[in-house]
Amino acid sequence: MKFQHLLVAQYAQACHITINREAKLNALDRETLAELHEAISDVLSDDGIKGVVITGAGNKAFVAGADIADFADFDAHQAYELASTGQAQVFDLIHHAPKPFIAAINGFALGGGLELAMACHIRLSVPHARLGLPEVSLGLIPGYGGTQRLTQLVGRGRALQMILTGEMISAEQALHIGLVNELWAPGELLERADGLLAVIGSRSASAVAAAIKAVNAGLLPNENGYETEKAAFSSCFGTADFKEGVSAFLEKRKPRF
């Protein structure tokens, strides 16, 4: 078996990556992060896969955070390396992926677990999930982009309230503040994620990639999102998908991308 801490399965054109450390509430240790990097790299280089669902094993936790035991004796240098490597190899890789990643939050999404969900493009949750960034209760702050992505998703005031108190919020509250997009019963969560991926997968893959790039650009300090949008918009005009999409509309048929 290629992975010790992940289950990876392909359904039609979607890949499901399940973090499989249920006894530790799917906490992310370094081995699991390395495996996630490998699994994500695999799906990104596989043209047959149009989107990814990330979830956790069992019904208690999506991911209950970075594995606390794993970094308990780290110094500042090691901590910096941990955050840099994790951000580059997993969290930013997902955030900037040219195909959609959906977090199917099946339970606790805490610390690095919520950061993983926030790196995804879309978040769906079960009603019993609890979400939070509890790092300050450990004498830490989030290190996988949480201070940035939570602020972008819910605004500075709500982000600071969650980060400074370290308190968990309910899935219902997360829905209310836009931290998750939709709530689904546990038995329907993956089906809904696959349904969304099927819709996105029926669209032009090059246009989907261009849209993610343009949306993300507006959140980067050194990029002008409007300029990126214009460049991405105009480059669509040179694609076979554009010709097919427009021809199909004019011929009153479904496009075949």
Calpha distance 152→221 (Å, rounded): 12
Least gap, CB of 28 to ligand COA (angstroms): 8
Least gap, CB of 174 to ligand COA (angstroms): 16
Catalytic residue among 38, 135, 188, 191, which? 135
Least gap, CB of 79 to ligand COA (angstroms): 11
**With respect to ligand COA, which residue has the nearer C-beta, 70 or 244?**
70
Both tokens assigned to 226 = 């409007």
Does the active-site annotation cover 251? Answer: no
Does the active-site annotation cover 172? Answer: no
Calpha distance 196→84 (Å, rounded): 31
51-56/101-105 β-pairing = parallel
Catalytic residue among 31, 35, 115, 229, which? 115
- Complete DSSP assignment for 36-103: HHHHHHHHHT-TT--EEEEEESTTTEEE--B-GGGGTT--HHHHHHHHHHHIIIIIHHHHT-SS-EEE
**With respect to ligand COA, which residue has the nearer C-beta, 86 or 112?**
112
CA angle, corner 158, sides to 175 and 112, nearest 5?
75
**With respect to ligand COA, which residue has the nearer C-beta, 146 or 245?**
146
Both tokens assigned to 254 = 């479904």
Least gap, CB of 114 to ligand COA (angstroms): 9
**With respect to ligand COA, which residue has the nearer C-beta, 27 or 205?**
27
Q: List contacts with ligand COA (CB under 6 A).
A: 24-25, 27, 64-69, 108, 110-112, 134-135, 138
Residues assigned a catalytic role: 115, 135
